Amino acid sequence: MSIIRNFAGTNKATALTWTVGDEIEPIVKSLKSKGVTFEHYEMPGLTLEGDIHVGYGMKVAWFKDPDGNILNLVDK
């Protein structure tokens, strides 16, 4: 387990994605109220609406876990 922990947070890509259907806004709001900080990225074709990136027929919100791994929620 300590070997895995040594590499936590070193990946620069999304490590885990949850597909949340059409419920992304209340989930983001709930997580934010619990102290989760959302990441904001400049990406072609996506616009930022609050903490949610919108484009290509989907909504995405990225955040990091305590170890620095990049996680996201996708509303498709």
Helix or strand holding residue 54 (H, E): strand 52-55
Burial letters for 34-54: b for 16+ Cβ neighbours within 10 Å, e otherwise?
eeeebeeeeeeebeeeebbbb
pLDDT for the residue numbered 4: 55
The pTM is what? 0.84
pLDDT tier at 7 (50, 70, 90 boundaries)? low
pLDDT for the residue numbered 44: 94
* Radius of gyration of the chain measured on its C-alpha atoms: 13
Q: Which residue has the tokens 């949340």?
A: 20
What are the residue boundaries of the structural domains of the chain, listed by start?
18-75
pLDDT reading at 34 higher than 80: yes
Query: Is 18-75 a domain of CATH 3.40.50.1970?
Result: no
Task: Using alpha carbons, select from 27, 5, 36 the residue that is nearest to residue 73.
Answer: 27
pLDDT reading at 31 higher than 70: yes
